[in-house]
Structure 1
């Protein structure tokens, strides 16, 4: 009865989803006008004349596109407790993220509106879609095991006990409505522990006795938890512990490299997987079709979207496109204006559209995370697909990886390469074959990479360095980023990350 009541309640969102699918442009214009109207009395709204009632094109002409660094002076005012800076009222919650472009923490405002009208609304939409796609799974009959981060006092307002900073997952769990809290496990006192090893152990001991139907979290850390649960119970796989497990809602990293590993951990024909695109800045997209990697762009959740074409990525003030102007198959950098008070904010992610009716995307990478030291333009989407193909060809699975250029010495300055540091959960018996398939797949997917690899003239074959189990965990721990939403940066044109991880590799050998 509880499953039926909750399913009926969440599926009421299906009508709204269908509306923005069918009327995307009208809905986005309504969102923009609503944002401008709400924020017209803020410092930012007064500065740029939000009360003038201007169009989307005039909005793009008046308000600058901004990076985090450019908006930081305003963010700091909000962090210090000032009201009506970017959004009406005083903000007390902030999503803390190191990002993947630098080591300095970022603090993104999380307003009441962004929690309720973006994150929670999108969560209901995802639940509605899941119950509609898989009605026989009865996913609301059991608990949802959500694995997230933690929060702490706002370092800018230590005198204000209400002001907190933390992983967006922790902020969402802390403020969940009662009905959603009823559905999830573990309890908050375990879910919000900040010491990651203790958290995994205590959560594993708690949830081994719970009827878990849904998993929600980052694949990397969910693997660690599932393995610990099976160890505690003495089971061969997790279905022996949770026979009613039916769904994994995953995000933060591409799932392709982890798919085979989860099939081993959850060897059930009933298990389903749906991807979500939930960032500190907002809940942006959900997978609305089974057996597809395409994500439905969420258009009525307090986020107005603009898109920067690839040839404008490095422009000081890039020309942006509205939703109706994008084209299939092209890479765009996302620009968001949101009900958290972000205005024409460059989130740093790139997407490409796979459908225009409705608007569906795939995350293709980061504006600063790709390999292009030699004109090869390898994006994260290429890397994930190549890793997945190499794993399939060699019957292996990958726990984590990162890659960077190899700059050869002056005797061979015209010829570069890539070094891939890969931590396997099951190392391939033929590492040469793994590297070959990785290379071949990249050549097939990326014409620029293929051109540079032609006869090994400009780019040498990739070098694969195998890391011992636990290498990336130790590296993350050393950076203070173990657990939560933190993840290993996949690609970088700098060797800084690779060199740090190599030090961990060498320690394991010693």
Structure 2
């Protein structure tokens, strides 16, 4: 009954979206008009000569420059300080932290207009999921949207930072309904650290034998959740049987305060099932026999983390997520589409052609099948002609609207001394070289720069979670170095002595420790993406701890 109510609430948005797919140019014109209306009357509009005369997409491109996270930083800081009407007329409801994987976190201003734009993409996705997969309607869901392990803070101007409830991205009237289909209460977000969050999350998940959907972002998040089940399984079984919850650090005041927000009752039968699952080789089917769908990132660098996550849930369908950034929603998955479909009613989109960077960005209806582009986003939240930094490829069209495959970051380049080493280049080198050298792709593999001046020049280090012997790691270092030197800029930096040779270092618990540092750098646990190339130094010392 609850899911039927949710489907009814989403039906009108889903219908409008499907109608818009036949006429993307018209839908995008409506999005542009909405963005211009939101920006009017703001300091941003005042900086644009002739703003009031801007109507068409071409006029918009001529009037507004392309922007980047750095170019809007001053405006974001003003908003964080409490200034109003900076990017839009609307007040900022909250800031969402984004990034941290290669530098400092960004703060994205969320307005009610931007929230409505998210819903224009999320509603069709939810409706399609429930309509095409009856099994998902049969039980509760787990959605990993909350900022797990983070405290909700405020900016200097008093604006909240981060959403607490998983339903925060949906319209307020729907939030009570959504909360009733969530297997895990949003209050787990108040727990102060990831380990306690995982324990409590598992308590609620194991308590629900009718779980129908697991939705996470990074598939390794699900793997780490199941690893925590291995570590804490017997203690969880005791807690379920007796009706209380003792996560790691339960004696801490902030953990006790968070637990007080939740209700725990005895589940002796589920405790028995958990003990049975702990004795099995594969635990997912024992714990959740009605699980119908796993939703997660499956593209770009996340692809290699899918198989380790799915081994816990054999036979369960996997649906790849679309491209959803903190700044906006780019694509959404539909069962009948060849790839995630452009969220044509959410924001105004432009697409840069990497082969012709000087050319005018293309509009949604101008994209060509098989071509690659970089996404430019304009939203009612005030980010205008914002270069998102994501690369996509057109896999086909759903009606007349492009379907886009996420390829990775367009701006992930390390350039310490002119070597210009890109994430896409490193991904290709690791994917084509490591399996032949080590027999398989390691569970964790990541390159990162290190620089310890003045003793030595900077160098790259490859961190591998593997049991290969030292001689094989040395061999891998030489082989990878040879391939990297096929790139002109990397080879030139090596020849000049500006860059030291690649080193390969063994690590243990790589994925878990990688996650811990990303959180320390400002990311949310559920949002952390795998990285073949991480631009932040300091990983050698971190893994040595």
If the TM-score is normalised by the length of the shorter chain, which range does it land in? 0.7 to 0.9
Q: Give the C-alpha shift of residue 168 in structure 1.
A: 9.1
Aligned partner of 1:421 in structure 2 is 463
Matched, 1:307 2:303: no
Q: Deviations over 1:416-448 (max 9, x none)?
A: 997532336xx5799959x98xx89x99xx9x8
Q: Secondary structure at the match of 2:377?
A: strand
Q: Is the 8 A contact 2:194 2:525 kept in 1?
A: yes
Q: Give the C-alpha shift of residue 245 in structure 1.
A: 1.3
**Residue of 367, 373, 381 corresponding to 1:326:** 367
Q: Give the C-alpha shift of residue 85 in structure 1.
A: 2.2
Counterpart CA distance in 2 for 1:29 and 1:346 is 19
Q: How many residue pairs end up in the alignment?
A: 475
Single out whichever of 269-278 and 166-175 deviates more from structure 2. 166-175
Q: Secondary structure at the match of 1:348?
A: strand
94 and 467 in structure 1: CA distance in 2 versus 1, 3 angstrom threshold: same
Q: Give the C-alpha shift of residue 452 in structure 1.
A: 9.5
The aligned runs of 1:125-274 (5 Å cut-off) are: 125-133=124-132, 135-136=133-134, 138-147=135-144, 148-149=146-147, 150=150, 152-158=152-158, 163-166=159-162, 172=168, 177-210=175-208, 211-217=210-216, 218-229=218-229, 231=233, 232=236, 233-234=274-275, 235=277, 236=280, 237-251=283-297, 254-267=301-314, 269-274=315-320
Q: Give the C-alpha shift of residue 378 in structure 1.
A: 5.1
Structure showing greater radius of gyration is 2
Matched, 1:366 2:409: yes
Q: Is the 8 A contact 2:320 2:333 kept in 1?
A: yes
Counterpart CA distance in 2 for 1:241 and 1:94 is 37
Runs (5+) with no aligned partner, structure 2: 237-273, 452-456
Matched, 1:100 2:140: no
Aligned partner of 1:503 in structure 2 is 541
Q: Secondary structure at the match of 1:75?
A: helix
Q: Is the 8 A contact 2:375 2:392 kept in 1?
A: yes
Q: Secondary structure at the match of 1:128?
A: helix
More strand by share: 1
Q: Give the C-alpha shift of residue 484 in structure 1.
A: 3.7
Q: Give the C-alpha shift of residue 205 in structure 1.
A: 1.7
Aligned partner of 1:119 in structure 2 is 118
Q: Is the 8 A contact 2:142 2:183 kept in 1?
A: yes
Q: Give the C-alpha shift of residue 342 in structure 1.
A: 0.9
The aligned runs of 1:424-503 (5 Å cut-off) are: 464-469=504-509, 470-476=512-518, 478-479=520-521, 481=523, 483-487=525-529, 489-492=531-534, 496-497=536-537, 500-503=538-541
Q: Give the C-alpha shift of residue 195 in structure 1.
A: 1.6
192 and 361 in structure 1: CA distance in 2 versus 1, 3 angstrom threshold: farther
Structure 1 length normalisation: TM-score? Answer: 0.78
256 and 386 in structure 1: CA distance in 2 versus 1, 3 angstrom threshold: farther
Structure 2 length normalisation: TM-score? Answer: 0.73
131 and 216 in structure 1: CA distance in 2 versus 1, 3 angstrom threshold: same
Q: Is the 8 A contact 1:7 1:131 kept in 2?
A: yes
Runs (5+) with no aligned partner, structure 1: 408-412
Aligned partner of 2:81 in structure 1 is 80
Q: Deviations over 1:455-505 (max 9, x none)?
A: xx999998654321143244335545462424454325x5x53xx222233
Q: Secondary structure at the match of 1:277?
A: coil
Q: Is the 8 A contact 2:164 2:190 kept in 1?
A: no
Q: Give the C-alpha shift of residue 181 in structure 1.
A: 2.0
Q: Is the 8 A contact 1:296 1:360 kept in 2?
A: yes
CA RMSD of aligned residues (A): 4.2
Counterpart CA distance in 1 for 2:488 and 2:337 is 29
Q: Is the 8 A contact 2:96 2:109 kept in 1?
A: yes
Q: Give the C-alpha shift of residue 39 in structure 1.
A: 2.9
Matched, 1:275 2:318: no
Q: Give the C-alpha shift of residue 300 in structure 1.
A: 0.1
431 and 475 in structure 1: CA distance in 2 versus 1, 3 angstrom threshold: farther
The aligned runs of 1:332-347 (5 Å cut-off) are: 332-347=373-388
Q: Give the C-alpha shift of residue 266 in structure 1.
A: 0.7
489 and 33 in structure 1: CA distance in 2 versus 1, 3 angstrom threshold: same
Counterpart CA distance in 2 for 1:464 and 1:476 is 21
Aligned partner of 2:239 in structure 1 is none
Q: Deviations over 1:38-83 (max 9, x none)?
A: 4322232343244324221111111111112211222222223333
